[in-house]
Chain A
Amino acid sequence: DVKVTQSSRYLVKRTGEKVFLECVQDMDHENMFWYRQDPGLGLRLIYFSYDVKMKEKGDIPEGYSVSREKKERFSLILESASTNQTSMYLCASSTGGVGNTIYFGEGSWLTVV
């Protein structure tokens, strides 16, 4: 079974802190994604990566950055957390182009106070 692991399920951080959300996949997938999930808005793409050290902005990249130094790991970074970044963050991975199944992690609940 494909496994996408988000190491932190629940985090509480203070405004202005730097926050790292880590994601690891075990299926040698080229593509990795970070989505943000908010009630009534569904999932919105923050950033994605199609290869090591390659990244592209999604629909809502402001306030976020990413890092992909190894194929299996994709990190989401909040340089200076703000309360409006309180949300559920979902990591996902897939191989190939459109139509291939995307596998999701269980999510990281981030609360910024």
Chain B
Amino acid sequence: AQSVTQPDIHITVSEGASLELRCNYSYGATPYLFWYVQSPGQGLQLLLKYFSGDTLVQGIKGFEAEFKRSQSSFNLRKPSVHWSDAAEYFCAVGIVGGYNKLIFGAGTRLAVHP
């Protein structure tokens, strides 16, 4: 069965530090992978997505993610975190043939210390 695991429920980093949020997926075929961000009280916004090709994908707000098939991972990174990056981050896998349904991970809540 398809699933997405985000091992870290909460992460706290200092402003200016680098960030890596982990995501592991289980999917039988080539996955369509996504990272969404949810700011407090808001809906979800797409940060980036991966379908094929270059395994390092660039997104908005300075984020990038790397697809590693051998590890079934799609980790999100940012070299220098800003206080405005404090939010909840969701990794998701898209279901082929499923009318664009997504399966989401449980989310990682990021706190940023000044």
On A, residues with C-beta under 8 Å from B are 4, 31, 33, 35, 40-45, 48, 50, 56, 58, 90, 92, 94, 96-102, 104-107
Contact = CB atoms under 8 A, between A and B. Distances in A.
Contacts of A42: 4, 6, 90, 104-107
Contacts of B9: 40
A45 B101 contact: yes
A45 B102 CA distance: 8
Most-contacted residue by chain A among B94, B95, B100, B101 (CB, 10 A)? B100
Contact of A99 (B6, B36, B44, B49): B49
Contacts of B36: 104
The prevalent SS among residues of B at the interface is loop
A112 B99 CA distance: 31
Nearest to B107: A42
B63 interface: no
Contacts of A101: 46, 49
B101 A33 contact: yes
A33 B49 CA distance: 19
B44 A90 contact: yes
B100 A94 contact: yes
A92 B43 CA distance: 9
A104 B46 CA distance: 9
Contacts of A100: 100
A104 B45 CA distance: 7
B42 interface: yes
